[in-house]
């Protein structure tokens, strides 16, 4: 009888990089002795390779960008944990009391987790909690505890630098020849969690391609499907998704507003924008998020654009425009919303009249507004592949200051006629790929609780689109 062969786990570049980084960081601590030697005195006496090795193991990822992101999170965790642990030492001899120490340990853990979540670094939580525990539980006493805390921080920084250097020196885990050839095939196991996009229609959606590309690249145990849900059927779908144990789903037209009252909890942006595009299902409860607005702000940040204090001209007043306008206003921009149907622009502006002002879409109105704006964002469907309609004329671009970047939310074609005209006139331009990727990355982060390197994903997604 032939026995099925058991596939051996693959030893890839990430494993090799981790091993090299651990060896290098271990060797670096040779001059300080590889165990803690209190006779050296001060911080040096507490120095050892352990935290550097741990940093290498945790931080080393398949790409330099991901390693950097993990490394920074870990460093933040160590700094938060070090500060909290050191602060608790100020309680002095009171800490010798068993129950007081127990309660303090619990409280610093809560504080560590809370601080890391506050700055949106969930992967920093571990270190933020472990370090105070280590500082309080270790056998060292008196002032040596402070040296102990500083030594752990230094070791982590060394480990992080080694992980980055090793990542930069060794090649990516995929050979160059394979890059660009990614597809959306993911392995489905019994343990695989389900995700999907719902819409009506939804067959054209790029979300499955984008999300499965990311899932595959990150080695996550998820699969992302495409689920048509007729208009008005969101409640029935939500019950199905809960029953079928979906981890979550994204929503596109026309469900984003209908989902709002169906959520058990709404995040701040979903409430602000009045639309949900990401739903996470946890313990039978539905948590609604909106990643469009934040995804847009992140895509601006990627281009080095800070909207605070800027005068922004937004073209269009549909769903995408609403998310963009409200987040721009929240970020401190002064926004003029130009739309063919003035009522729709007015409705958006009613949400924040201090920052938002409506106007029409005639060439004269566009030229007048362009004269006084620092950033132009197109949220209309004009110029989109497969959609009819084009700007009647681009003369309003002549009124725009050369320093004003022009951003189009459309990503297909990669360069719309608006962007081409703007580029010809010397403006910096950006298409909608940045928003597409950033909002998808944010969604997947909510679904999986994993921090994702958006820059790396942008390259991969651009390859498959």
- Binding residues (CB under 6 A) for ligand ATR: these are 316-321, 339-341, 344, 361, 379-382, 389
Residue nearer to ligand ATR on the CB measure, 80 or 440: 440
C-alpha 438/C-alpha 231 separation (Å) is 27
C-alpha 276/C-alpha 290 separation (Å) is 5
Report yes or no: 389 and 382 within 8 Å, Cβ to Cβ.
yes
Is 256 one of the catalytic residues?
A: yes
Beta carbon of residue 389, minimum distance to ligand ATR (angstroms, whole number): 4
Beta carbon of residue 400, minimum distance to ligand ATR (angstroms, whole number): 18
Beta carbon of residue 24, minimum distance to ligand ATR (angstroms, whole number): 50
C-alpha 168/C-alpha 166 separation (Å) is 5
Taking the CB of residue 228, how many other CB atoms lie within 10 A of it? Answer: 14
C-alpha 231/C-alpha 137 separation (Å) is 58
**Reduced to 3 states, what is the DSSP secondary structure of residue 29?**
coil
Beta carbon of residue 260, minimum distance to ligand ATR (angstroms, whole number): 16
> Within 390-432, where are the H helices?
417-424
Q: How far is CA 164 from the centre of its chain?
A: 20
Beta carbon of residue 277, minimum distance to ligand ATR (angstroms, whole number): 11
Report yes or no: 263 and 270 within 8 Å, Cβ to Cβ.
yes
Residue nearer to ligand ATR on the CB measure, 145 or 255: 255
Taking the CB of residue 204, how many other CB atoms lie within 10 A of it? Answer: 9
Beta carbon of residue 323, minimum distance to ligand ATR (angstroms, whole number): 9
Beta carbon of residue 387, minimum distance to ligand ATR (angstroms, whole number): 8
Residue nearer to ligand ATR on the CB measure, 280 or 348: 348
Beta carbon of residue 3, minimum distance to ligand ATR (angstroms, whole number): 56
Report yes or no: 209 and 186 within 8 Å, Cβ to Cβ.
no
Burial of 354 (0-12, 13-18, 19+ CB in 10 A): exposed
Residue nearer to ligand ATR on the CB measure, 227 or 321: 321
Indicate the pairing of strand 285-289 with strand 278-282: antiparallel
Structure tokens at 81: 């944990």
> Residue 364: CA atoms inside 13 Å, Cβ hemisphere, count?
0
Number of residue whose CB is nearest ligand ATR: 318
Residue nearer to ligand ATR on the CB measure, 53 or 435: 435
DSSP tag of 397: G
Contacts of residue 219, Cβ cutoff 8 Å, sequence gap at least 6 = none
53: closest CA among 78, 14, 22, 15? 22
C-alpha 321/C-alpha 326 separation (Å) is 8
Residue nearer to ligand ATR on the CB measure, 138 or 381: 381
Calculate the alpha carbon distances from 366 to 75, 394, 395 in Å.
Answer: 48, 10, 9
C-alpha 214/C-alpha 452 separation (Å) is 9
- Among candidate residues 17, 256, 310, 322, the one labeled active-site is 256
Residue nearer to ligand ATR on the CB measure, 39 or 343: 343
Residue nearer to ligand ATR on the CB measure, 330 or 381: 381
Known catalytic residues are 256
């Amino acid at each position: 009888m032939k026995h099925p062969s058991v596939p051996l786990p693959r030893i890839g570049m990430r494993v090799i990089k981790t091993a090299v980084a651990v060896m290098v960081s271990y060797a670096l601590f040779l001059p300080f002795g590889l165990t803690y030697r209190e006779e050296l005195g001060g911080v040096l006496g507490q120095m050892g390779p352990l935290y550097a090795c741990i940093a290498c193991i945790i931080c080393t990822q398949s790409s330099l960008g991901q390693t950097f992101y993990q490394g920074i999170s870990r460093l933040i965790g160590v700094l938060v944990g070090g500060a909290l642990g050191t602060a608790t030492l100020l309680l002095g001899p009171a800490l010798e009391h068993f129950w007081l120490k127990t309660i303090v340990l619990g409280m610093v853990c809560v504080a560590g987790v809370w601080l890391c979540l506050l700055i949106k670094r969930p992967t920093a939580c571990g270190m933020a909690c472990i370090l105070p525990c280590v500082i309080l539980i270790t056998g060292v006493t008196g002032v040596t505890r402070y040296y102990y805390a500083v030594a752990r921080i230094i070791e982590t920084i060394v480990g992080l630098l080694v992980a980055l250097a090793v990542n930069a020196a060794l090649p990516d885990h995929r050979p160059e020849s394979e890059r660009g050839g990614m597809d959306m095939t993911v392995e489905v196991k019994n343990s695989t969690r389900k995700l999907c996009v719902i819409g009506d229609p939804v067959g054209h959606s790029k979300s499955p391609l984008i999300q499965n590309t990311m899932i595959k690249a990150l080695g996550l145990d998820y699969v992302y499907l495409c689920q048509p849900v007729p208009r008005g059927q969101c409640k029935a779908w939500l019950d199905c998704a809960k029953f079928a144990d979906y981890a979550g789903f994204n929503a596109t037209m026309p469900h984003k507003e209908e989902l709002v009252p169906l959520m058990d909890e709404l995040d701040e942006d979903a409430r602000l924008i009045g639309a949900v595009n990401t739903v996470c299902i946890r313990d039978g409860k539905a948590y609604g998020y909106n990643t469009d607005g934040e995804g847009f702000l992140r895509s601006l940040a990627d281009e080095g654009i800070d909207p605070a204090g800027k005068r922004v001209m937004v073209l269009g007043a549909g769903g995408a425009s609403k998310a963009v306008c409200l987040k721009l206003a929240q970020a401190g921009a002064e926004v003029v919303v130009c739309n063919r149907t003035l009522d729709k622009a007015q409705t958006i502006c009613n949400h924040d009249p201090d920052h938002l002002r409506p106007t029409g879409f005639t060439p004269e109105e566009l030229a007048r507004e362009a004269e006084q704006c620092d950033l132009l964002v197109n949220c209309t469907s004009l110029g989109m592949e497969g959609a009819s309609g084009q700007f009647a004329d681009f003369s309003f671009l002549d009124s725009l200051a050369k320093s004003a970047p022009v951003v189009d939310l459309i990503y297909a074609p990669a360069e719309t006629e608006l962007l081409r005209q703007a580029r010809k006139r010397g403006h910096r331009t950006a298409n909608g790929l940045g928003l597409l990727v950033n909002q998808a990355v944010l969604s997947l982060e909510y679904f999986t609780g994993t921090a994702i390197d958006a820059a790396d994903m942008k390259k991969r997604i651009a390859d498959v689109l």
